[in-house]
């Protein structure tokens, strides 16, 4: 009888004792029968370590490290993963019970580099009375050139939470691909740029198999930090592709578009907003509004020319 491939589920956690058990439980309750669950305790200062040992014992592998951020924890998980496939799962997110089984069935007979991703919905983590599910951006990549979608449309026209993906582990281990631990945010987009540049086979599962749980004080609500992470990641990719004029042009378009979308988090606008109206005349405020509108129009013209 053919042995089904091992899947490594990597769960980074930092002071998330109140929710990490939800993620671990949904991993252990997968209908797929060959899993290892690696929980990376990223230097938690609460009782995460003791709670995990007390609750799960040998059912999971818990690896403790000094605090280095989510990218560092995921890299640690990749180094320890022994599975054919790797599933990333943040401590506050959830998987449908059949997710891994469905995605492995679609991937296991594909030769070469391959990955799968699925549809998802968002849920409110902080208010248990909120039962609605929603999604504000499409998760669907174009089949012909998914790399270009990752480059241009990520978090502006499309969004794919990390746990939607199931990757062939060889993508990371054989090509030395890792999350950049120096980026304050958007280390996932930076990593996916490297992954999709390999031109792997990409399989989309048109089913909701992942749940992205949102909370009020998550990283994505810090717009100043998000802006900084976006721009730093883009500058890194521009430097990497400086000999490819088409990619650099598209990255420049992305940078301009994100500057517009995060204009409220720029230093100039934050300083203006903090000043009393008598100190910053309406003409100056109006000037920046006009600049924003002009920039937005130029970006739309570059992305969607007539």
Q: What is the pLDDT of residues 2-39, one digit of tens each?
A: 689 999 999 999 999 989 999 999 999 999 999 999 99
This prediction has a pTM of: 0.85
Residues of the domain holding 291: 223-303
Taken as a whole, the chain contains a residue count of 306
Tell me which residue of 270, 32, 72, 68 sits closest to 180, measured CA to CA. 72
Q: How confident is the model at residue 301 (pLDDT cuts 50, 70, 90)?
A: very low
Tell me what the pLDDT averaged over the chain comes to: 86
The answer to whether position 26 is within a domain reads yes
Q: Are residues 151 and 234 in the same domain?
A: no
Tell me which residue of 54, 174, 59 sits closest to 112, measured CA to CA. 174
What mean pLDDT do residues 221-242 have? Answer: 92
What does the longest C-alpha to C-alpha distance in the chain come to? Answer: 79
Express each pLDDT in 79-107 by its tens digit. Answer: 999 999 999 999 999 999 999 999 999 99
Q: Are residues 175 and 231 in the same domain?
A: no
- Examine the fold and report which residue of 197, 221, 245 is the final residue of a domain before the chain moves on: 221
Question: How many other C-beta atoms are found inside a 10 Å radius of the C-beta of residue 11?
Answer: 27
Alpha helices per DSSP H over the chain:
20-28, 48-56, 70-80, 99-107, 146-153, 170-173, 187-197, 223-240, 245-261, 267-274, 282-303
SS3 content of the chain, % helix, strand, coil (to 5): 45, 20, 35
- Examine the fold and report which residue of 188, 221, 254 is the final residue of a domain before the chain moves on: 221
């Amino acid at each position: 009888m053919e042995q089904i491939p091992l899947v490594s589920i990597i769960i980074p956690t930092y002071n998330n004792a109140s929710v990490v058990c939800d993620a671990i439980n949904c991993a252990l309750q997968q209908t797929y029968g060959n899993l290892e669950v690696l929980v990376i305790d990223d230097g938690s200062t609460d009782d995460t370590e003791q709670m995990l040992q007390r609750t799960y014992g040998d059912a999971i592998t818990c690896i403790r490290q000094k605090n280095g951020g989510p990218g560092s924890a995921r890299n640690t998980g990749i180094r320890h993963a022994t599975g054919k496939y790797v599933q990333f799962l943040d401590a506050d997110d959830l998987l449908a019970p059949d997710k891994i089984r469905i995605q492995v069935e679609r991937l296991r007979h594909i030769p070469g580099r391959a990955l799968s991703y699925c549809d998802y919905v968002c849920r409110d983590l902080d208010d248990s009375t909120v039962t609605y599910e929603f999604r504000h951006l499409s998760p669907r990549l174009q089949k012909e050139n998914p790399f270009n979608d990752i480059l241009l449309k990520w978090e502006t026209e499309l969004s794919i939470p990390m746990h939607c993906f199931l990757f062939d582990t060889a993508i990371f281990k054989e090509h030395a691909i890792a999350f950049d631990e120096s980026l304050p945010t958007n280390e996932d987009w930076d990593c996916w740029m490297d992954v999709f540049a390999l031109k792997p086979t990409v399989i989309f599962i048109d089913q909701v198999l992942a749940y992205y749980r949102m909370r009020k004080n998550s990283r994505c609500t810090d717009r100043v930090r998000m802006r900084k992470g976006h721009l730093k990641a883009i500058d890194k990719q521009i430097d990497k592709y400086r000999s490819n004029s088409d990619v650099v042009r598209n990255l420049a378009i992305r940078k301009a578009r994100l500057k517009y979308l995060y204009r409220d988090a720029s230093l100039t606008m934050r300083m203006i907003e903090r000043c009393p109206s008598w100190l910053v005349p309406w003409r100056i405020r109006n000037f920046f509004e006009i600049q924003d509108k002009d920039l937005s129009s130029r970006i739309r013209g570059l992305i969607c020319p007539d």
